[in-house]
């Protein structure tokens, strides 16, 4: 009986070992499948025909292949294209990705574009899904112009190691046909409204929806070919020129026409209009000339000081005195003014000076202006 029990225990232990090894083999096989480099990057559509001058989209997609256990959570895209035929306008992530890990980078001179995306707090990608939309503009004719994923384009599974799993990268081809017969659209004209007083120069600017060359005129209705004033910055989609010789209290109108690379000129005017405020005529009222005496009442034998301010600087005043009422004015006394337009003179009242009230005023020799009349009393 003991022998039988021992055999049963041995058989159970052997079964447990075999079962554990089988589970491990199944798990390892699934891990192996999750890290297989058989994912595919491709564009939708794979080929397209568009008209020159039009805009269109290519959508980058990923097929995870056998990597469906752990799923893809990072995708890195790098593309090249022919910039003589195509221009890349933007790269926009799809809803399958939560984060733009590395912002879109576009170089339309070199013909390159790139973006890196992640899926934090989102389900990892376990089935074919959109990655990002590449928005292009067809600027010239071209047959089967390629848009290619470079070897740096890849995808990583969520295994803690960032294992790259893309094995196939399939680009797209674009055929741009026909010719552009539509002149450029113009918008965002600046400046507008009323500019501040004293503005002497200003940059006028606008944008177009395609590369173009722009000119302007100060008269309306001038054909593009007859315009003689060019924008200094032009040829792309942003155009500007500095205008000088502006004056306050004036309005200005500039009429703009542009022509694209297919010789399609605008046949109507795009007006950029503004005015400059009138200069404020805030003439300051000059301060009135002022007289003063050291004493309002003075006795014979005392000294009186007579002063004034706000007269012409470094010049002269003539002082006139009259015994009031009915007396004649004495001969004027000439007194020099200071560099600040003040004067001061003093004299001792004679013992023989008639008593009474005396009035006096000052004449500014340079301006001829007369001050108000002051008074003092001799007792």
Domains of the chain from N-terminus onward? 37-177 (2.60.40.680), 186-276 (2.60.40), 290-378 (2.60.40.1930)
Q: What is the pLDDT of residue 352?
A: 85
Q: What is the pLDDT of residue 7?
A: 58
Written as six digits, the tokens of 210 are 């395609």
Phi/psi for 24 (5° steps) reads -65, -40
Task: Please give the DSSP secondary-structure letter assigned to residue 312.
Answer: -
| Over residues 137-154, mean pLDDT | 94
Q: How confident is the model at residue 286 (pLDDT cuts 50, 70, 90)?
A: low
Q: What is the mean pLDDT of the chain?
A: 89
The neighbouring-strand residues paired with 323 are 358
Burial of residue 151 (CB within 10 Å: 0-12, 13-18, 19+) is exposed
Digit-coded pLDDT (tens) for 101-129: 999 999 999 999 999 999 987 889 999 99
Residue 8: CA count within 13 A, CB half-sphere: 5
Written as six digits, the tokens of 239 are 């155009």
Taking 80 as the threshold, does the pLDDT of residue 283 lie above it?
no
Q: How confident is the model at residue 141 (pLDDT cuts 50, 70, 90)?
A: confident
Q: What is the pLDDT of residue 26?
A: 45
Residue 79 CB contacts under 8 Å (≥ 6 apart), including other chains? 112, 113, 114, 134, 147, 148, 149, 150, 153, 171
Digit-coded pLDDT (tens) for 318-346: 999 888 877 777 889 999 999 999 999 99
Q: What is the pLDDT of residue 32?
A: 43
Q: How confident is the model at residue 23 (pLDDT cuts 50, 70, 90)?
A: very low
Nearest to 114 by CA among 125, 100, 124: 100
Percent of the chain scoring above 90 in pLDDT: 71
The span from the CA of 357 to the CA of 282, in Å, is 42
Q: Does the predicted TM-score (pTM) go above 0.75?
A: no
| Over residues 291-296, mean pLDDT | 91
Digit-coded pLDDT (tens) for 174-187: 999 887 788 999 99
């Amino acid at each position: 009986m003991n022998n039988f029990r021992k055999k049963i225990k041995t058989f159970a232990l052997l079964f447990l070992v075999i079962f554990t090894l089988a589970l491990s083999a199944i798990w390892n096989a699934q891990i192996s499948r999750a890290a297989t480099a058989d994912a595919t990057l491709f564009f939708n559509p794979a080929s397209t025909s568009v008209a020159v001058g039009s805009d269109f989209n290519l959508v980058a997609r990923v097929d995870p292949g056998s990597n469906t256990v752990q799923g893809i959570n990072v995708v890195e895209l790098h593309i090249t294209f022919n910039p003589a035929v195509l221009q890349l306008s933007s790269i926009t992530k799809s809803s399958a990705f939560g984060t733009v890990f590395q912002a879109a980078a576009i170089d339309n001179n070199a013909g390159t574009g790139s973006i890196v995306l992640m899926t934090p707090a989102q389900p990892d990608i376990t089935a074919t899904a959109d990655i990002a939309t590449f928005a292009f503009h067809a600027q010239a004719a071209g047959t089967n112009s390629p848009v290619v994923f470079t070897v740096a384009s890849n995808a990583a599974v969520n295994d803690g190691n960032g294992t790259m799993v893309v094995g196939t990268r399939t680009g797209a081809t674009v055929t741009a046909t026909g010719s552009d017969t539509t002149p450029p659209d113009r918008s965002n004209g600046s400046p507008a409204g009323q500019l501040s007083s004293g503005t002497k120069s200003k940059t006028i600017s606008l944008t177009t929806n395609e590369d173009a060359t722009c000119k302007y005129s100060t008269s309306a209705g001038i054909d593009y070919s007859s315009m003689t004033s060019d924008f200094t910055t032009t040829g792309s989609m942003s155009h500007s020129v500095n205008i000088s010789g502006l004056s306050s209290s004036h309005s200005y109108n500039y009429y703009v026409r542009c022509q694209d690379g297919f010789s399609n000129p605008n046949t109507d005017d795009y007006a950029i209009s503004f005015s400059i405020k009138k200069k404020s005529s805030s003439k300051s009222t000059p301060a009135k000339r002022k007289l003063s005496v050291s004493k309002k009442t003075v006795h014979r034998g005392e000294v009186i000081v007579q002063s004034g301010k706000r007269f012409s600087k470094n010049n002269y005043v003539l002082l006139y005195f009259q015994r009031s009422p009915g007396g004649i004015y004495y001969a004027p006394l000439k007194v020099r003014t200071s560099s600040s337009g003040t004067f001061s003179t003093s004299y001792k009242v004679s013992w023989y000076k008639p008593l009474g009230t005396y009035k006096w005023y000052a004449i500014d020799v340079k301006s001829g202006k007369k001050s108000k009349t002051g008074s003092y009393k001799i007792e």
